[in-house]
Amino acid sequence: MLFHYLWFILLPFFGFYTPITPTQNHLPKEVPVLCFHHIRPDTMHHLSPYSVTVSVFKADMKILHDSGYHTILPDQLYDYLTKGTPLPPKPVMITFDDNDGEQFTIAKPTLDQYGFKGVFFIMTVTMGKPHYMNKEQIKQLAVEGHQIGLHTWDHHMVTRYTEQDWVKQLDEPKKMLEQLIGKPIPYFAYPYGVWNEEAIAELKKRNIKMAFQLSSKIDPRYPLFTVRRIIVPNSNSPQTLLNIMRRDFH
């Protein structure tokens, strides 16, 4: 999959806000949603498009903090979209996919350093395996105020699911994670960012109230189920990330 500079979600403009309704033909201005997968050692030279080095990740978090950004969680975004609840100044959402172990050992301490909170979309087949987070670590993230979200059992595209696939890929992981953290999990990230209308209908049946994709534009028919994100590039300069954000969200 190619790099995608994707974003988005809604920013008040001089205090003006109109909640989203199914009949509207326009959407409020978007705010950045960042997506990370793998955080690799600085000595690793051949990285996938889904990877950043430790130093790049830390530099990105520092420049966000130093530039006055405030992290938001999905509950805040949902309330903003549906009820007009204000967001903090310069909001940004930081999300992580797939349950990599570095998300706990590297990302979490860095987020803690700046008072940031993240959203961790868990692919449950990996839990407890080498190089991935275990149940205790996922539970600790939730206890400390980070959001746990769903990312299926083993990362197959939702557009190909049969009825039984929905049970294996969503119902069972949802039950497992909700029992683990002791609270409902109403947020979902599509594997590969791919979705269709049938998938949205299935998510709604399962009390998912907001879902995150990747490259496509927000669909005005389903703004809560087509939230966009950017896969953060492994740039040598954190200013690159800010430049994109400032260019697209002024």
Q: What's the domain range around 55?
A: 46-94+106-248
- Asked whether residue 10 is assigned to any structural domain, the reply reads no
Tell me the three state secondary structure of residue 100: strand
Query: Cα angle vertex 82, ends 79, 86, to 5°?
Result: 50
Between the CA of residue 103 and those of 131, 132, 155, 225, 246, what are the distances in Å? 10, 9, 18, 25, 26
- Asked whether residue 128 is assigned to any structural domain, the reply reads yes
Between the CA of residue 185 and those of 48, 133, 147, 240, what are the distances in Å? 29, 18, 9, 33
Among residues 207, 248, 243, 239, the alpha carbon closest in space to that of 225 is found at 207
CATH number of 70's domain:
3.20.20.370
- Asked whether residue 19 is assigned to any structural domain, the reply reads no
- Asked whether residue 54 is assigned to any structural domain, the reply reads yes
- Asked whether residue 11 is assigned to any structural domain, the reply reads no
What is the model's pTM?
0.89
Tens of each residue's pLDDT in the chain, 250 residues: 444 444 444 443 333 344 455 435 556 667 889 999 999 999 988 898 899 999 999 999 999 999 999 999 999 999 988 888 999 999 999 999 999 999 999 999 999 999 999 999 999 999 999 999 999 999 999 999 999 999 999 999 999 999 999 999 999 999 999 999 999 999 999 999 999 999 999 999 999 999 999 967 889 999 999 999 988 989 878 999 998 777 765 5
Report how many domains make up the chain.
1
- Asked whether residue 165 is assigned to any structural domain, the reply reads yes
* Angstrom distance (rounded) from CA 46 to CA 238: 19
214 neighbors 231 (Cβ within 8 angstroms): yes
Among residues 199, 218, 182, 162, the alpha carbon closest in space to that of 6 is found at 218
- Asked whether residue 13 is assigned to any structural domain, the reply reads no
Among residues 97, 84, 78, the alpha carbon closest in space to that of 208 is found at 78
- Asked whether residue 27 is assigned to any structural domain, the reply reads no
